[in-house]
Amino acid sequence: MVRRERALRACKARFEGKALDWRSRDCVRLAAHSMRSLGVATPLLKGLSYRSELAAAKALRDLGFADLVEAMDATNLVRVAPAMTWPGDIVAGPGRDSGAFRFSLSVVHSAGARRTLAFGPDGVCGVGSPDLTLPHVAWRVAPLTGGVAHG
């Protein structure tokens, strides 16, 4: 749990209070930062770069994924119920109405996803309480539970 708290602090230091920037700060990079901080490699992102929402959506399609949930499932992390999450785990919740970003990723701040670190509607990353009455998908970030451990 100490490692998870450190990983969460690292995510907050890098993202909290900062605006979405498709070149350097978005929900994918937030999730990847948490994964790497917890010792899980992110090979799907290796060599991937994009500078706009349109380019990010194209990159996702080029990798063969319709949305971010499909991409997260490809990491081989174990899905868990949002209520079973720990700090540093990843949650996908409702994003846009449709398309590649119909889900957006966030990092669990408080166990059970009661609070998450995410980019809000204003485009700024912060800690908030997701509406868990809406559909969410979550993954346990732990290299020993099936996460890709190479790079």
Q: Is the dihedral of CA 55, 59, 128, 121 positive or negative?
A: positive
Judged against a pLDDT cut of 90, whether residue 98 lies above it is answered with no
Q: Is 151 within the bounds of a domain?
A: no
| Share of residues in the chain with pLDDT > 90 (%) | 85
Q: What is the pTM of this model?
A: 0.91
Q: How many domains does the chain have?
A: 1
Q: Is 7 within the bounds of a domain?
A: yes
Query: Average of pLDDT values for 62-81?
Result: 95
With CA atoms as reference, report the closest residue to 69 among 93, 48, 41, 87. Answer: 93
With CA atoms as reference, report the closest residue to 121 among 35, 19, 7. Answer: 19
- Arithmetic mean of pLDDT over the chain: 92
* Domain containing residue 106: 2-145
CATH number at residue 7: 3.90.1720.10
Query: Average of pLDDT values for 109-118?
Result: 97
